[in-house]
Amino acid sequence: MRRSEEFSQLIWVALFLMGFAHQPFLARGGSQAFIGTYGINYGRIADNIPSPDEVVTLLRAAKIRNVRIYDFNHSVLQAFSGTGLNLVVGLPNGNLNDMNASQDHAMTWVKENVQAFLPQTRIRGIAIGNEVLGGSDMELWTVLLGAAKNIYNAVKELKLDDVVQITTAHSQAVFVNSYPPSSCKFSSNIAQYMKPLLEFFQEVGSPFCLNAYPFLAYMGDPSNIDINYALFQPTQGIYDQKTNLHYDNMLDAQIDATYAALEDAGYKKMEVIVTETGWASRGDSNEAAANVSNARTYNYNLRKRLAKRKGTPMRPKNIVKAYIFALFNEDSKPGPTSERNFGLFKADGSIAYNIGFHGLQSSSATVRIRLKLSRLTARG
């Protein structure tokens, strides 16, 4: 009895210190993968980042409730069990052919990697591939929809469709004429794959997921883009004559360009969610904009902008929601130096720069409580 009382007291202390507010398992009547406005991408292409259990401690101390991963690693899914954090798991591009080819394989995958962890792990979404359309592997363009349908059918058959949302994230390579925002359309070579996908997502109530990077846009044309416009800093912005709308930051313009493309394709009511956005804190010699000052400015101002819970000029009632890229610097990622330096946190769990979060090193009390809870749970 004493052990039970001690365990209860520890639970309440932990909840208070970690800022955790438990939410019940979603009732039937519509899945929603994203709660609130702020989330983060937990990439793991690194050999030096904290363990999944430490990551959970970090996220809860930072009160970040929405998390996306790019695979379905069971150690991560187990670490998130009982935490109350909302998780979107990824079906990697390498699995798309198999999921498209076999409904049975899709059912097995959902049972083993989603259903088996519910409801303790709050899996709220499955991201089917990442940036497939517009990517270099055109074979995947042809199987994306089939894979999404087979995964959704498995989710539905298991009666999880009101809990788990099916999505896929797109890069801006799917668009043409994105400036000004109102002129944006889907590329003609992509439209034949995009429109059936949009039709399916409209039927099942899924949003359009966009990976939007003012950082990349600025890097591509620094002589013609005001960096203050990309960083949410005071600037004259741009004016869209067709819609008579003014934009004071690039992210809003990128989102509204997406809404314009959706409207042009016939999907005016579909919501846009930003599934990746961020700014690199370090880069190569030809990546001068990738520095700590700009990364801090972008991510600090982005956090403030999301906290306002407001929409964009074109869709003022659609509150902007965004997953930040990324939780950690990932030392094993290929490509330019900037690719390995998008993290809000360094590999040791300390902050990369200060935007109001605290690293693992300043959360020792929380860590001790979590470890003590783990020991009590293990003893029964």
- Residue 341: which of 354, 355, 327, 322 has the closest Cα? 327
Contact 160, 199 (CB under 8 A): no
Catalytic residues: 131, 276
Mapped onto helix, strand or coil, the DSSP state of residue 114 is coil
Two structure tokens written together for 215: 């950082």
Give CA–CA dist 288/294, Å, rounded: 10
Give CA–CA dist 264/261, Å, rounded: 5
- Token pair 């190569």 is found at 284
Two structure tokens written together for 2: 């004493």
Within 10 angstroms of residue 25's Cβ, the number of other Cβ atoms is 9
- Token pair 């929405």 is found at 66
Give CA–CA dist 153/260, Å, rounded: 30
Alpha-helix runs per DSSP H in the chain: 2-18, 52-62, 74-79, 96-101, 103-113, 138-157, 188-204, 214-220, 227-230, 250-265, 292-307, 364-379
Two structure tokens written together for 309: 């819970």
Task: Give the H or E element holding residue 206.
Answer: none
One-letter amino acid identity for 241? Q
Long-range contacts of 19-23 (CB under 8 A, 24+ apart): 19/60, 19/61, 19/63, 20/60, 20/83, 20/84, 21/84, 22/84, 23/84
What phi, psi does 70 have (nearest 5°)? -105, 5
Two structure tokens written together for 344: 């809000």
- Label residues 128-140 b or e (16+ Cβ within 10 Å = b): bbbbbbbbeeeeb
What phi, psi does 83 have (nearest 5°)? -90, -20
- Residue 200: which of 166, 170, 250, 238 has the closest Cα? 166
In this structure, are strands 185-186 and 165-170 parallel, antiparallel, or unpaired? unpaired
Task: Give the H or E element holding residue 270.
Answer: none
